[in-house]
Amino acid sequence: MPMACLLLCPAKTTAFPACRILGLDICEDTIVGDQMQRGISGGQKKRVTTGEMIVGPTKVLFMDEISTGLDSSTTFQIVKCLQQIVHLGEATILMSLLQPVPETFELFDDIILLSEGQIVYQGPCDYVLEFFESCGFCCPERKGTADFLQEVTSKKDQEQYWADRQRPYRYISVLEFAQRFKRFQVGLQLENHLSVPFDKSRSHQAALVFSKHSVSTRELLKVSFEKEWLLIKRNSFFYIFKTIQLIIVALIASTAFLRTHMHSRNLDDGFIYIGALIFTLVVNMFNGFAELSLTITRLPVFYKHRDLLFYPAWIFTLPNVVLTIPFSIIESTVWVVVTYYTMGFAPEADRFFKQLLLVFLIQQMAAGLFRAIAALCRSMIIAQTGGALFLLFFFALGGFLLPKDFIPKWWIWGYWISPLVYGYNALVVNEFYASRWMDKFVTDKNGVSKRLGIAMLEGTNIFTDKNWFWIGAAGLLGFTICFNVLFTMSLTYLNPLGQPQAVISEETAKEAEGNGLPREAVSKDSTRRNVRMKSKDGSSNEEMGEMRLMIRLGNSSSNAISRVKSVGRNVSAPRRGMVLPFSPLSMCFEDVNYYVDMPAEMKQQAVADNRLQLLREVTGSFRPGVLTALMGVSGAGKTTLMDVLAGRKTGGYIEGDIAISGYPKNQATFARISGYCEQNDVHSPQVTIRESLIYSAFLRLPEKIGDQDITDDIKIQFVDEVMELVELDNLKDALVGLPGISGLSTEQRKRLTIAVELVANPSIIFMDEPTSGLDARAAAIVMRTVRNTVDTGRTVVCTIHQPSIDIFEAFDELLLLKRGGQVIYSGILGRNSQEMVEYFEAIPRVPKIKDKYNPATWMLEVSSVAAEVRLNMDFADYYKTSDLYKQNKSLVNQLSQPEPGTSDLYFPTEYSQSIIGQFKVCLWKHWLTYWRSPDYNLVRFFFTLFTALLLGSIFWKIGTNMGDANTLRMVIGAMYTAVMFVGINNCSSVQPIVSIERTVFYRERAAGMYSAMPYAIAQVVMEIPYVFVQASYYTLIVYAMMGFQWTVTKFFWFFFVSYFSFLYFTYYGMMTVSISPNHEVAAIFAAAFYSLFNLFSGFFIPRPKIPKWWIWYYWICPLAWTVYGLIVTQYGDLEETISVPGQSNQTISYYITHHFGYHRSFMAVVAPVLVLFAVFFAFMYALCLKKLSFQQR
């Protein structure tokens, strides 16, 4: 249940004041970053989103949870700044906030209180407490008004606020609150105000907007071009890598089709040139495939901007298209310059430039096609498959695999709409109308003499009209325009796939029905934040948790957090029972410094240092049973310190001493006794809550703790205990899902993150912002979980933003950092934060805290950079001269010495489970993930089915008629195309899956759950049954429709070769992700080798004609072995006679042996080699996953 507040804000502002208002001036030149790339902090990202909205002339702003990830002081300053200039403007803001502190809440003019989809109160903030007092409820003394409002409408929290203890409590439902509000004075005034029509004479001219966008089209274009160019420069690695891989492929192709081996004497020589031209066409077509993944990654930001009317779709697409033209010119020029004369094409300048024009148009057409596919599909997996489908369709009907006259009449329309037809015809006509081909004559099978060039065109079913160069060029240009128009139209009219949704608990739905609302009327937002859970016996888990605490305290009227806090303070209170024993451990650290290499942007601003220091001489300690808050303004280094202490940093330079119970910290053993709850809540989306916990427990719990054997039953029992502790047992069968799209709500994910670490039975737990993004009630549930964890005797430290008074005072100690990573307070909070308040109030000229003021907000305000400037002092220096610092130093020195009778942490093995045990558990999770991933498996199954039916219908019964060598080439082309495209689709579609799971893998490996090898091998093994099913129905369909011979042996070999070909392509896709920072680069890397696979497959250049210096690559090209196996098993034993152009008639087996170099006896080698390719790529995936890490922290 969010709090909605209404206020006015300025109509106009500019970017630079907005940066200062939002505190972004210190990072204005830093890239935003993501999970894999270091950038600004999470709180700063949230402020960027806010700043993006307030810099424009927008009159009405809807601001949803803008404070998430911000400290309370920053939130207060932002809202206060808006409030100070609000009454000078004429705009309107509706803002929802989570956990607003009282000071921030008081800045608002109006409030809209929502609960279960109904308005409970709407009007001035001054009267909201009066309204609830009229209903019989009173806000306690040290309770924030916002927190009170969020709990008083809840059935589970309402009773504690009942004002008149002389009268029995009666639950007042949301519906009754809403009805009472209509009779309240504010509600009556609102109704009277709405009943009178608005006086049009008071209308302001600015109320009508006559332009859809804020600025002129010219300005929009200018800014869009500048932004696109900036992104191109920032993403220069992508374009450089793409160009370099094209240069490498061009050099390899040039030496494979080297002019000294290329002649123009007869038809056989002409077919080699045809192969070179087809390869040119295919390579430059595939070169555009990278646009697909690049466009998909940019769509979320585009949809946000489009829906906010920043600009129309064509403003986005035009720079996208135009600014890639220079790169396409460079790439096409490089390709033609490197290949044209080296390959020995016609040495005529006009034909050189004509081929350059065609290559450029092919690249532009391909880029437009893949952009359009990305905009149509809008999902990486679907788009990868969609792109492969279009490529397959255009490739199969391009006129080079199956000549025009052989295409079935029901598919001839596809020939005319394939852009490859126009590129292929134009390229071939441009070459074979050269004088060296037209000046020679050959005799056809009927004895008629023809020019060699014309004979080649007729033999390959190419149009013989020389104007087909211009027809082809015009066709490519037309397709380029059409595809880019389709790209623009798709972005204009299509919305993102999937709608945000979350788990709605059964109790919430029933309560809504009890209030007279249908289930569908339950507000998504309220359900997402109002988390109410039900246990097996029908009682609420919140009630169960409270009941346990009430029994201990004997005080039913205290609120949830107060009860939790009291348990924490009461040393004699009984600890929660846990199934497994553990050793309480302390952590201390002294003079910790952390540096990173100076960012390039700062070096450009003449910063002399080579390193940037993020932490400066940080000293402190964390102890068992003590809940420590790690706080500071956004960007102070809280998460950085936590990463350093937990050993999660992957780069930078760390100095200082860290000890665990007196012994130097060893990361290998520390991972076994610690847990880290990350801020981003990274989990596998396709498993349930209980399965996630079982997975973590079975990997991280050893077989024996002390003298106690830890059986599987005990692990399951422990998992159930943890689920009850974090109050997730009623949601145990809910799928985790993707954040913001499906599955668990934010608050449920937070508790799952905590539970995943708790089932490891750790002694020390780090929690990074466990309450960020939650409202007060959800935060209370999470903090109850945290407090319960501390009460078991564990050492827990949390970073936290903008806590309410209740949540802040639930902590025992505080470690406060200032910007720059320096400590300014480290010590106990005391009752009502008295110890901390007294420390800061003792500093000269620091203002005293006001009554009912949140100590957390006050603390951050009085210690801010502005306060330091005003007081002319450094709080970090003051802390180092204080008695508190000396006490902490003494405590650190004490904790740095091991207690007598203790020993350093020791584990006989690096991981809790054996390699086999890790493999079994990882295989179990991969099985669940794959089984519940229809968008991956069903899409690739559909693609394979479509491919089989498409090629089967295009090459219908082609295997039954072997009249000449051209027909045999068509059959080879059909089998080659089918395997290649299904394989490439397997490779492309597996990349996003592996990339998503790799993010989870990095977290789990850092937690010491498993080694990379068993994880990777389990994922590799999981592909085997799915690919088996895929290859089975593919073989049945293709074999029957193409009309191959029905013998058991030939059918088996066709299945065998197809199966292992699909498998090695899948593993190749997994390997490319493991050696790439993201799946965009993986797609480019894979595409480069697709080209080489094609070139040396034996289809474009038969093996006997491959230059000797490249024959080695033929033998290591996996696709070559596939083509070898398919052809030799189907036709290697046939003695039927076929006609061969320019030669005497030959048997099929003789032609295959002498033209392609295939020997049937060699199949004994081909079969194991295909298996070895699959094994090799799988092994390389596992090895690279183990050795390489692209996560930057």
The terminus-to-terminus CA distance of the chain in angstroms comes to: 34
pLDDT of 566 over the 70 cut: no
Residue 146's pLDDT band (cuts 50, 70, 90): confident
Taking only the tens place, the pLDDT of each residue in 332-353 is 999 999 999 888 888 889 999 9
**Does position 557 have pLDDT exceeding 60, yes or no?**
no
Beta strand spans in 29-129 (E):
60-64, 92-97, 110-115, 118-124
Superfamily of domain 621-652+668-895: P-loop containing nucleotide triphosphate hydrolases (3.40.50.300)
pLDDT of residue 890: 94
Asked whether 637 and 864 are in contact (CB, 8 A), the reply is: no
Q: What is the pLDDT of residue 518?
A: 46
Contacts for 53-58 with beta carbons within 8 Å, 24 or more apart? Answer: 53/308, 54/9, 54/13, 54/18, 54/21, 54/82, 55/13, 55/14, 55/15, 55/18, 56/214, 57/11, 57/12, 57/214, 58/11, 58/91, 58/214
Q: What is the pLDDT of residue 1192?
A: 67
Domain boundaries, the chain: 3-197, 222-440+475-495, 621-652+668-895, 914-1193
Query: What local confidence, expressed as pLDDT, does residue 565 receive?
Result: 36
- Tell me what the mean pLDDT of segment 972-988 comes to: 85
Alpha-carbon torsion angle 661, 666, 667, 673, nearest 10: -40
Kindly report the backbone phi and psi dihedral angles of residue 260, in degrees, each rounded to the nearest multiple of 5, phi listed first.
-65, -20
Q: Collapse the DSSP code of 626 into the 3-class scheme (helix H, G, I; strand E, B; otherwise coil) and give the result.
A: coil
Which of 373-387, 403-417, 696-710, 1013-1027: highest mean pLDDT?
A: 1013-1027
Cα separation, 910 vs 693, in Å, equals 21
pLDDT of residue 205: 66
Average pLDDT over residues 499-514: 51
| Tokens read off for 109 | 């003019």
Question: Two tokens at 324?
Answer: 């890639």
Q: What is the pLDDT of residues 805-846, one digit of tens each?
A: 888 888 999 999 998 899 999 999 998 899 999 999 999 889
Indicate if the pLDDT at residue 402 is higher than 70: yes
Distances from the Cα of 575 to the Cαs of 547, 807, 923, 1012, 1076, in angstroms? 15, 21, 37, 37, 48
pLDDT, position 861: 86
Q: Specify the pLDDT at position 1063.
A: 95
Burial label, 112 (beta-carbon count in 10 A; 0-12, 13-18, 19+): middle
903 pLDDT higher than 90: no
pLDDT tens by residue, 906-916: 888 888 889 99
pLDDT of residue 45: 74
> Topology of 3-197 in CATH?
Rossmann fold (3.40.50)
Same CATH topology for 3-197 and 621-652+668-895? yes
Q: What is the pLDDT at residue 628?
A: 95
Given a contact cutoff of 8 angstroms between Cβ atoms, the answer to whether 421 and 365 are in contact is no
pLDDT at 500 over 80: no
Q: What angle do CA 379, 385, 391 make, to 5 degrees?
A: 125
pLDDT of 576 reads 46
Q: Which two tokens stand for residue 858?
A: 């006050």
pLDDT surpasses 60 at 4: no
pLDDT, position 507: 47
The string of pLDDT tens digits covering residues 426-476 is 999 998 888 888 888 877 666 677 788 888 888 777 888 889 999 999 999
Q: Does the pLDDT of residue 546 top 60, yes or no?
A: no
Q: Is the pLDDT of residue 309 over 50?
A: yes
3-state SS track over 915-955: HHHHHHHHHHHHHHHHHCCHHHHHHHHHHHHHHHHHHHHHC
Q: Which helix (DSSP H) or strand (DSSP E) does residue 1123 occupy? A: helix 1118-1131
715-to-630, 696, 697, 710, 1120 alpha-carbon distances in Å: 32, 10, 6, 7, 50
**Higher pLDDT residue, 140 or 924?**
924
pLDDT value for 1028 = 96
- Pairwise CA distance, residues 35 & 420, whole Å: 39
Question: Can you tell me the distance from the alpha carbon of 320 to that of 367, in angstroms, rounded to the nearest whole number?
Answer: 10
